[in-house]
Amino acid sequence: MSTVSSMRTKKKRQADADPELTLAIGLVWGYLNTRQVEDAYDLARGCILVWPEDSRLRLMYAYAAVELLRPLDETTRAVLEQSQCREWAMLVRRREELQARHAAAVQT
């Protein structure tokens, strides 16, 4: 795919997106990027109530949840399994494993 074609696709995708959803995703990402995980978790959880089908919000929510040692619901787990962003899903699963190991070590 050429750069121009790629840019057109990106612009079309952005033009088709709900501006409020785009803003919400940017805010959640901003919280995660600045390591404000609790705020990212709370915002993503609220945004999922408004946009329950958005996988990007679910993926960021999953990351924040595992960072805060919170369990993932079945819907979020399903989104992780079906995600086209395998790297992100692998990151969340790896963080979840590390958190579980740490919790087990603390209990013993």
Residue 103: pLDDT band (50, 70, 90) is confident
- What b/e readout covers 13-37, taking b as 16+ CB neighbours within 10 angstroms? eeeeeeeeeeebbeebeebbeeeeb
Residue 8: pLDDT band (50, 70, 90) is low
pTM for the model stands at 0.79
What residue numbers bound the domain in which 35 lies?
3-107
CA distance 94 to 80: 12
Domain count, the chain: 1
CA distance 25 to 31: 10
Residue-wise pLDDT tens digits, 79-93: 999 988 999 999 999
